[in-house]
Chains A and B, each alone.
Chain A
Amino acid sequence: MSSETATMTVANAPSHRASRLDRFLMQGGIVITFLVVAVVATALIEPRFLNRLNLLNVMRNFALLLIPSLAQMLVMTAGGFDLSVGAVVAATSVVTAAVMLVGNGYFPGMELAVIIASLVIALGVGALVGLVNAGLVSAFSLSPFMVTLAMMSVLMGIALYFTQGIPIYGVTDSFVANVGRGQFLGLPIVLWAALGVLAACIVMQRFTALGRHIYAVGSDQRSARLSGVATGRTLIAAYMLAGLLAALTGYLMTSRLGSGQSTIGGTLALETIAAAVIGGVSLRGGVGRAELVALAALFLSVIANAMNLVQVDSRYQTLVLGAVLIIALAIERLLLRKRQS
Chain B
Amino acid sequence: MSMEAKTQPMAQLSGLSPRDVLRAARLPIAIVVVLILFGLVEPRVLSLGNFRNIALQASYLAIFAMAQTMVLLTRGFDLSLGYTVSLVSVAASMAMVAMGGGDASILYGVGAAALIAGAIGLANGVLIAGIGINPLVTTLGMANMVLAFASTISGGFPVTGLPKSLTAEFAQGSLLSIPMPIWIAALVFVLLFLVLKATRFGRSLYIIGANPRAAVAAGIRTVPVLVLAYVLCALLAALGALLLTARTGSGEPNLGGNLTLEAIAAAVVGGVRLARGEGGVGAAVLGALFVTVLSNGMNLVQIDGYLQQICLGVIIIVSLIVNRDEARR
Contacts and interface: CB of A to CB of B under 8 A. Distances in A.
A329 B306 contact: no
A224 interface: no
Contact of B134 (A164, A283, A313, A319): A283
Contacts, number: 128
Contacts of B268: 146
Contact of B317 (A136, A164, A274, A313): A136
B321 interface: yes
Given A153-B310, A322-B143, A333 B148 contact: no
Contacts of B151: 315
A316 B148 contact: yes
A273 B140 contact: yes
A329 B145 contact: no
B267 to A, nearest CB: 11
Contact of A326 (B142, B304, B314, B324): B142
A143 B261 contact: no
Contacts of A273: 137, 140
Contacts of A156: 309
B77 to A, nearest CB: 8
Interface string B155-174: 01000000000000000000
DSSP majority for the B interface? helix
Contacts of B314: 150, 154
Interface residues of B, number: 42
A277 interface: yes
Interface residues of A, number: 44
Interface string B289-329: 00000000000000010111111111011001100100010
B324 A141 contact: yes
A318 interface: yes
Given A150-B316, A273-B140, A326 B133 contact: yes
B147 A325 contact: no
Interface of B: 77, 127, 131-134, 136-138, 140-145, 147-149, 151-152, 156, 261, 264, 268, 274-275, 304, 306-314, 316-317, 320-321, 324, 328
The 10 closest A-B pairs by CB, nearest first: A157-B309, A319-B148, A153-B313, A322-B144, A157-B310, A154-B313, A161-B306, A322-B141, A150-B316, A322-B145
26 contacts: A140-B320, A142-B317, A145-B136, A145-B274, A149-B261, A150-B312, A153-B310, A153-B313, A154-B310, A154-B313, A156-B309, A270-B140, A270-B141, A270-B144, A313-B152, A317-B148, A318-B148, A322-B145, A322-B148, A323-B141, A323-B145, A326-B133, A326-B137, A329-B141, A330-B131, A333-B132
